Amino acid sequence: MSITITQGESSVATEHKLEYVTSCELPMPWATFQLHVFIDHASDKEHLALTLGAVNDGEPVLARVHSECLTGDTLFSQRCDCGAQLEGALQRIAAEGRGTILYLRQEGRGIGLINKIRAYHIQDEGADTVEANQQLGFAADLRDYNLCESMLEHLDITTLRLMTNNPRKVAALQEIGITVVERIPLILNRNPFNTRYLDTKAAKLGHLLPMDGLKRNTDDN
């Protein structure tokens, strides 16, 4: 499978066929999930899938495709909503007793951890999240959802009820042949530290979010 990733003004063709490696039980606060590990030999990155229940029975699967966010998922950063979305998705899957999370190693919308921290520094000086990536020479969003194809194929999943606020993610999955029968909003943890970030995702990246901060600014004017 050949795809094109755009970075700045240049693009490179890459191959993404993930290899399944192994699985294990993963006890979590909400349920004991199965953890599945895949490797992308093109990038030497490992990607993960968490599953609960019988996800290969042909029925639509409650799912989240989550891009790695070390600062939010692990360090509890309030600059974004990533950690809250991951936890919220896990809780919802546990409550239903069935579902999957694909955890993609695409830190910082695909620019990597070091560049994400560089982008945070630029944001500290006044840029928004999109402007910061662009000032570093990257496109606003470099994530590649073609990675999901091999993972879902291995898990024998073809139809999703997708937890996301991002219509572009729905479209990207549909382009690789995955049926998304329902988009489930996952709006969590708006706070004073991430209001501008969330408003920028709504205004510039098409996320379906209430733009509270922008509304307040308009009202103030």
Residues identified as active-site: 141, 143
Strand pairing report for 61-67 and 159-163: parallel
CA distance 113 to 75: 13
Determine contact, residues 164/104, Cβ cutoff 8 Å: no
CA distance 170 to 148: 12
Contacts 24+ apart (CB under 8 A), 84-89: 84/188, 84/189, 85/163, 85/186, 85/188, 85/189, 88/163, 88/186, 88/188, 89/64, 89/163, 89/186
| DSSP string across 63-85 | EEEEE--IIIIIT--SSSSHHHH
